[in-house]
Amino acid sequence: MTVTRTLTAAAVLLFAVTAAATAEPPDCLPICSSSDLATDQRERADQRNARLDAADLRGADLRGADLRWSDLRGADLFAADLSGARLFSADLHGADLREADLRGADLFAADLSDARLDAADLHYAHLHATNLREAELSHARLARAYLFQADLSGARLHLADLRNAHLHAANLGGADLRGANLQGAFMLHANLEGADLTDALLHGVRGCDLTGRLPGCTPRDASRHQTPPPAAEPEPEPEPEPADLVAQSPPQAAVVVSHAADDGSDGHHGAVRAVLVFISGRLSQWIHTLSMTFANWADLLSDMHTALANDGSSANSSSS
């Protein structure tokens, strides 16, 4: 009996690892339509691979719902509560998520292209490799969101809150970032070519030197768009003598290269900082990827354990 259980457990583990590696979506599970979902919005039954395209889910309570691989194309999720929801590889193309609550939601590899996310709350959302091409994110709250390798090309992020967001290797080409708050964001190797950063708040951006001293993230003319950090009113200075005016630099130069001057003329410290930033970004990426992989493995093992328990119960009832 012990040997049988050991072999069964080993087979289950092997199946779980294989399934996680292939990442094939499961068959349609209990809730497969908008009518089924509307029957009990609060029920936390397995909703993976649900067919909810063009569904009317305005204001729906979907907190913590498992909607991995689900088809939500064109769905109306206006003001819906999806906080903590699992939307791994879900198709949300063209969905209406205006004012939706997506705090802490897992949107890894989800398709949100052309989706409307105006004023949506995406604090701490996991958006690794998420497709957000041409998405409407004006006034969206993305503080501390994880956007590693996310595709935001052509997205409209006017006045969006991206403070301390993780934008490592994100594609922001042609994005509208006018007035966006990017203070403290991590942007190593981010693509900002053609992005509009007019009036954007860029103070404290990490991994991205807008003066071009560090690798990656060097948008053309970005420095002329950045807004300097608020500062106290300067002390009035005496009028300079005419001879001193020749030696003075333009006042804008102090803003553009203020942190670059501290690196030393040889650029040694700047290179060291670039390496450290790159290593920290890679470590963060690996940690997030491993955590998501182990979470999926745990779910698959749980599903297999439940299936085996149900099969055992059915066999026992049949024999009795």
| φ, ψ dihedrals at 81, nearest 5° | -100, 105
pLDDT value at position 216?
53
Tell me, yes or no, whether 4 lies in a domain.
yes
Q: Crossing angle for the helix pair 268-319 and 2-22, nearest 10 degrees?
A: 130
What's this model's pTM, rounded to 2 decimal places? 0.60
Tell me, yes or no, whether 102 lies in a domain.
yes
pLDDT (tens place) for every residue of the chain, 320 residues total: 554 555 555 555 555 444 444 444 444 433 444 444 544 444 444 578 899 999 999 999 999 999 999 999 999 999 999 999 999 999 999 999 999 999 999 999 999 999 999 999 999 999 999 999 999 999 999 999 999 999 999 999 999 999 999 999 999 999 999 999 999 999 999 999 999 999 999 999 998 765 444 445 655 434 334 444 444 444 444 444 444 433 333 333 323 333 333 344 444 554 555 556 556 655 665 675 666 666 666 666 766 777 677 666 666 666 65
pLDDT value at position 244?
41
CB 84 within 8 A of CB 104: yes
CATH code of the domain covering residue 290: 2.160.20.80
- CA 32 vs. chain centroid, Å, equals 27
pLDDT value at position 158?
97
For residue 176, the enclosing domain spans: 1-230+251-307
Q: Which of 142, 131, 132, 214 minimizes the C-alpha distance to 180?
A: 142
Tell me, yes or no, whether 316 lies in a domain.
no
Tell me, yes or no, whether 276 lies in a domain.
yes
Tell me, yes or no, whether 242 lies in a domain.
no
Radius of gyration of the chain (CA): 25
Number of domains in the chain: 1
Tell me, yes or no, whether 108 lies in a domain.
yes
Q: Which of 48, 51, 124 minimizes the C-alpha distance to 87?
A: 48
